Structure 1
Amino acid sequence: MENLYQRSFDFVDLKPLAPKPRQSGLTEIRGPYYEAFTVQQLNDLLKTWGYYIDGFKFAGGTQALLTANTVKAFTDLAHEHQVYVNTGGFIERIVIQDPKNIDHYLQETQRLGFDVVEVSSGMFEHPQDFRLDDQVEIVKRIKKMGMKPKPEITIMSSVGGGVQEFDYKNKTKSVKTPEELIEEGERFFEAGAHMLMVESEGITEGIADPKDWRKDVIFALVKAFGHEKLMFEISPEDDEARKTFKWYLKEVSADVNLMMNAKNIVEFNAWRSHLWGDRTLWKNKKITL
C-alpha cells in the first residue's frame, strides 16, 4: 500500500490522517474471538479500509485454535498492508498451565510473524496472582527477542474474557488507584515496553452512565505518559463503543490510540475526520444558494 492515499471527493475538507506507518492516532482492530474472522475477510477488509487500520489483534488466544499455516497467512497478509499483528493477552493462559512454557510461546509467536506481544493479568482473581515483577521480566524477554512488548494495565482483577458485566462501581473486585497504575506503567517502560494497553473494564466499559466513568484514571495516565504511549480499549458492545470512542476523540485527542472491533472503524473515522455524525459540524451553519 502506498503511503499517499488518494481518496475520492478530495475537494471535501476533512481532517487529514497521517500516512502509514503512523506513530500516533493508531487504530488496532480485534480479529478472531467475538466473530469467526477469516483470512479472506481480513483480505477484503484491508483492501477496502486498510489505510485506516494500523494493528490486528488476536483476542483470547484464538491463534491456538488455528493451524500454524493459517496464523501465518493472517500475519503475512497484515504485513502486506503495513498492519502490525498483536498476540492479545494469550500469555495469561500460558503461565497458568506452566510458566516454563513462556520461552516456547515467545519463540512460536515470533516464528508465526507476530510483531507486538501483550502481557496482561486482568483475568487473574487477585493482582498478586501474576506478580508485577514477573510481568516486567517477561517484557524484558520480549524486547530482547526484537518484538514489541505491550503490557496491559487494568484497575480491576478477574474481569474480561468477553463476559459482559455492569455496575463495576459497586463491585467488590480489587480496584487499583491511578497512582498504582502509573507506577506499573513506569516499571514497564523502564523494562522496554513499546506502549501500554489500558483495559476498559471498570474505566469506561460496564458503567452505564458516562458521568461515572473513571475519567480521572484516563487523564492521570495521559498526564503521566502522553496519549501517544497509551492505547485505550473500546468495548466490544456497540452502544458502549460509540459513546466511548466519541468521548476519547473530543476529550483526549483526535490522535488517540484505540483498539476496537473492526465494524466500528468506519463510524470512528467519519467522526475523526470531521466527515459525519458530529452534530457540532452543523451548528450555526446557514446556507444560501
Structure 2
Amino acid sequence: MSMLRTLRPLTGVFRSARIPTSSVSRRFLSATPRASQNKVRPTGTGFEFLPTNPLPPKPRQHGLTEIRGPYYAPVGQTYIDELLSDWGEYVDGIKFAGGSFSLMPVERLKAFIDTAHKHNCYVSTGGFIERVIATSGGSKDQISRYLRACKDVGFDVLEISSGFLSIPTSDWQFLIELTAQHGLKPKPEVGIQWGAGGDASVEELESAGTRDVGWVIERAHNFLNAGAHMIMIESEGITENVKSWRTDVISGINSKLPTDKVMFEAAEPEVFSYHIQNTGATANLFIDHSQIVQLACLRRGIWGTGGTFGRVVTVG
C-alpha cells in the first residue's frame, strides 16, 4: 500500500506578535541540557587571554551548528576544505539541499564527504527522500535502494521530510527504523506549515494553512521513541515566509521536547539570534554556510547586536 495519502489543508492560523531582537534586555544563560558535557574555550588563537564563553567541544551533543552546503551556492570540495580549515571548530554538520548531491559525479561527491569527515563534521542528505517516496509511490524496495546508495557514498545523516506529502505516523516511524537499519542516523523534519520546503510565497502558505503545535510535539515524541537521532524543525510557517513570527510554537516545542534532540532551521541572522536569546548559546541550529562566523561570535559571546551584545553567557 502506498504511503501517500491525501491531506485536506488546515485553516485557522493564529500568530503571535513578532518579537524583535532589540527588545530583550536581560542576560541569556544557556538552558541546561539533558546530558552534561564539559565546556572549553578556544585555544591556539593567540587571543586566549580575552574572555569568551566556554562551549562543548566536538563531537557535541548540544550546541550543534549544521550548515547548508550546495544548493543556493555551488559549494565544492575545495571551498568546504578551506572553510572548515578556518572555522571547522564551529561547524558540526553539512547538509545538501534540494537533492543536489544526486547531480554530482560520484567520486567528487565521495571526496566532498571525505573532506567533511576529515574536519570531524557529519554530512546529511537533506530531505530528498521526499521526492524518492513521491516518485516511487512509497515503494520499500526503491526507498531501500536509495538508503543503500546514501550509505555507500558516505552520508552519515538522512533527513526525512514530507512538507509536500501526507504520510501516516506509523509509516514515518517505519522509515526511521528502516533508515537506522541501513546504518544512517534518521533525522525527521517536522513543522506546522503544510507545503513547506518549496520557496512558496507568504500568500501561498497562508492559503495552505498550518498544523497545531501539539501535532508537531506529539509526532516528535513518537519519532524519538522510534529511534530518531534528532528532530529538525522546519522554519516555514514559524519564522520564514510569515507576516509575523509564531514564537508560541518555538516556546511550545522547547518546553515539551528535549532541547538536545531538537534542531531549528534558522538561516537568517535575526532568527538564530532569537533562538540564542531564548534557548541559550547551546541551541542546535541549521544555518547557511555564509553565516558561520556570525553565529560563532554570538555563541562565544564576543559580539552581537544591540539586543545580544555582552548578554549571551554560559557557565562552566
Matches within 5 A, 1:81-96: 81-96=119-134
Give the number of the structure with larger relative contact order, counting CA–CA contacts within 8 Å between residues 6 or more apart: 2
1:165 aligns with 2:206: no
Shift of 1:242: 1.3
Counterpart-to-counterpart distance in 2, 1:180 and 1:220: 11
Structure 2 counterpart of 1:123? 164
Instruction: Give the secondary-structure state (helix, strand or coil) at the position aligned to 1:121.
Output: coil
Whole-angstrom CA distance in 1 between matches of 2:292 and 2:188 = 24
Letter in 1 for 2:130: E
How far the C-alpha of 1:164 sits from its partner, in A, is: 5.2
After TM superposition, the score normalised by the length of structure 1 is 0.87
Instruction: Measure the CA separation in 1 of the matches of 2:209 and 2:71.
Output: 26
Q: Secondary structure at the match of 1:152?
A: strand
SS of 2:207's partner is coil
Aligned counterparts of 1:228 and 1:268: Cα–Cα separation in 2: 18
Check the 8 A contact 1:46/1:81 in 2, yes or no: yes
Aligned pair partner of 1:103 in 144, 147, 155: 144
Q: Which amino acid aligns with 1:190?
A: N
CA distance in 1, matches of 2:298, 2:263: 18
Q: Secondary structure at the match of 2:273?
A: helix
**Kept in 2: contact 1:271–1:278 (CA 8 A):** no
Structure 2: gaps spanning 5 or more residues: 1-40, 312-316
How many residues get paired?
Answer: 267
In the TM superposition, what is the alpha-carbon distance from 1:282 to its structure 2 partner? 6.4
| Structure 1: unaligned runs, 5 residues or longer | 236-240, 284-289
Shift of 1:48: 0.9
**Counterpart for residue 258 of structure 1:** 285
Counterpart mapping for 1:130-149 below 5 A: 130-149=167-186
Equivalent residue, structure 1, for 2:271: 244
SS at match of 1:260: strand
Distance in structure 2 (CA, Å) of the matches to 1:207 and 1:8: 43
> Is the CA contact 1:234–1:259 (under 8 Å) kept in the aligned structure 2?
yes
Identity %: 39
Tell me whether 109-118 or 10-19 shows the greater mean CA deviation.
10-19
Matches within 5 A, 1:51-62: 51-62=89-100
Please name the residue that 1:112 is paired with.
153
Maintained 8 Å contact 1:32/1:62:
yes
8 Å contact kept, 1:150–1:194: yes
CA shift, 1:158, in A, is 1.2
1:189 alignment counterpart: 224
Matched residues in 2 for 1:189 and 1:48: separation? 34
Letter in 1 for 2:247: K
> Does structure 1 residue 67 correspond to structure 2 residue 105?
yes
Aligned letter for 2:173? Answer: V
- The 1:249–1:167 alpha-carbon spacing in structure 2 relative to 1, beyond 3 Å, is farther
Instruction: Please give the TM-score of this superposition, normalised by the length of structure 2.
Output: 0.80
Q: Verify the 8 A CA contact 2:266 2:272 in the aligned structure 1.
A: yes
Task: Indicate if the aligned counterparts of 2:69 and 2:95 stay in contact, CA closer than 8 A.
Answer: yes
Q: For 1:213 and 1:229, locate their aligned partners in 2 and report how far apart those are by CA, in whole Å.
A: 22
